[in-house]
Amino acid sequence: MARPPRRPRRRVRLTALAGWIGLAFALARPLVLAPAAGAGEANAATHRQITWTVYTAAPYMITDGPEAGTGISDRVRHLLMARLDDYAHQTITVPFPRAISGMKQGAEWCFVGGVRTPEREAFAYFSRPTGLFYPLRIMVREGERARFDALGPLSLRSLLTEHPELRTSVLRNRSMGPAIDPILRGAGAPQLHSEFDEAFRMFQNGRLDYVIEYADIAAYYARALGEPRPWIGLPMTENPEPVFSRVMCARTPWGRAVIDRIDAILTEVRPTDAFRQIVEAWSAPEDRATLRAVYDSSFLSSE
C-alpha cells in the first residue's frame, strides 16, 4: 500500500525558511539605515561651518605680503569669526568673479564686502552694512591730467560713450552702486578684468588711460606697485553717493541663519568707536569728515 505524502513536514520547512528570511531582513535593516543616519550627521556638521571666500581687493581684503589679513573686510571677518564661535570656519581664496559665480551656482559661501543689488538678491542674502566705498573717482596719471581736464566738466557717461579711444577696464561682476552700474552696462565697458590689481598694472604700464576706482583702493595700489608719480583722482559730474558693503551669503536656509546671527552681532558692535576705526582705516584725511557724517546717519540706521 502506498505511503501518504508527507505534506506537514514540508510546511514546517517552508515556515522555517520564511522565519530565516524574516530574520535576515531584520538584521540587514539597521545596516541599510546606518549610512543614511551617518549622512544626516555629516550634513548637520557641514551646516555648522562657514566657508568665507577671500580675494585680493586691498585695502579691503589683503591676501599677500606683510599686511595680509589687515584689510577692512578682513578685520570685520575676523571679528565675526570670533563671535560665531559655535561655527567652524574656513577660508578659500578665489578671484572675485568666482566668488560671485560660485554663490550664484549654489555654493554655500559667504564673504565680507558685497554690494547689495536686485540681481544679487536672487541668489544671496545680505547683512546690515559693514563698510562703505567712497569717494569714486576717475583715476588718471599725472601727465595725462590736462587731457582729461579739457573734457570737463568730466562725466563718466560721456567719457564712456563719446570717447571710446580712451581705454579703461571694469572688474567682472563688480557693482559700484545704483548710480554707476547702469552707466557701465549701457556703455558696454570695452574691457573686463578679474583681479583688482590687474587693472592697476595695466594702468601703470600705459595699457589703460584711466581707471574708475575708489580713492583708498587706488592709493593703496599706487603705493603697493611702487608708483613714483601720483595718480590723480578726478571727480565726475555723476557724483555718486557712498556705497555700503555688506556680508553676502548664499540664499539658502543655512545662509539665512548665518546672516541673522551676523546682523545681531553688527547691531551690537557697529555703534562702537572700535568698529568705526575699522571702517575708516585706509581712508584719506580729506575724505574722513564725509565718511563720519555718513557713518553716523545712514550707515548706522540702514538695514
Q: How many CA atoms lie within 13 A of 250 on its CB side?
A: 18
Residue 251 lies in a domain: yes
C-alpha cell of residue 124: 544671496
Residues 128 and 269 placed together within one structural domain of the fold? yes
Least reliable range by pLDDT among 14-23, 100-109, 146-155, 259-268: 14-23
241-250 CB burial, b ≥16 within 10 A, e <16: ebbbbbbbbb
Q: Are 60 and 218 spatial neighbours (Cβ–Cβ below 8 Å)?
A: no
Pairing of strands 49-54, 243-250: unpaired
Instruction: Tell me the β-bridge partners of 90.
Output: 51
Percentage of the chain beyond pLDDT 90 is 73
Residues 66 and 213 placed together within one structural domain of the fold? no
Residue 16 has pLDDT above 70, yes or no: no
pLDDT of residue 298: 94
pLDDT of residue 47: 74
Residue 269 has pLDDT above 80, yes or no: yes
Residues 127 and 170 placed together within one structural domain of the fold? no
What is the rounded (10 degree) CA torsion for 143, 147, 149, 150?
A: 150
Residue 109 has pLDDT above 70, yes or no: yes
The mean pLDDT of the chain is 85
pLDDT tens figures, 50-108: 999 999 999 999 999 999 999 999 999 999 999 999 999 999 999 999 999 999 999 99
CATH of the domain at 95: 3.40.190.10
The H or E element that residue 170 is part of is strand 170-171
Of 179, 200, 234, the residue at which a domain comes to its end is: 234
Euclidean distance between CA atoms 258 and 45, whole angstroms: 14
pLDDT of residue 130: 98
C-alpha cell of residue 136: 569714486
pLDDT of residue 12: 34
Q: Which residue has the cell 574656513?
A: 90
Helix 72-83, helix 253-269: angle, nearest 10: 100
Residue 228 has pLDDT above 90, yes or no: no
Domain extent at residue 265: 50-132+243-301
Residues 105 and 141 placed together within one structural domain of the fold? no
Mapped to the 3 state alphabet, what secondary structure does 52-89 carry?
EEECCECCCECCCCCCCCCCHHHHHHHHHHHHCCCCEE
Q: How many CB atoms lie within 10 A of CB 220?
A: 22
Quick one: 76 exposed, middle or buried, by C-beta within 10 A (0-12, 13-18, 19+)? Answer: buried
C-alpha cell of residue 81: 569669526
DSSP annotation of 50 reads E
pLDDT of residue 40: 37
pLDDT tens figures, 170-192: 999 999 999 999 999 887 656 89
pLDDT of residue 249: 98
Residues 63 and 94 placed together within one structural domain of the fold? yes
Residue 66 lies in a domain: yes
pLDDT tens figures, 110-130: 999 999 999 999 999 999 999
Residues 119 and 149 placed together within one structural domain of the fold? no
Euclidean distance between CA atoms 269 and 253, whole angstroms: 25
CA angle 3, 4, 7 (to 5 degrees): 135
Query: Which residues, including other chains, have CB under 8 Å from residue 219's CB and lie 6 or more apart?
Result: 231, 282, 284
pLDDT of residue 9: 42
Euclidean distance between CA atoms 80 and 262, whole angstroms: 7
Mean pLDDT (whole number) for 282-290: 89
Mean pLDDT (whole number) for 250-258: 97
Residue 59 lies in a domain: yes
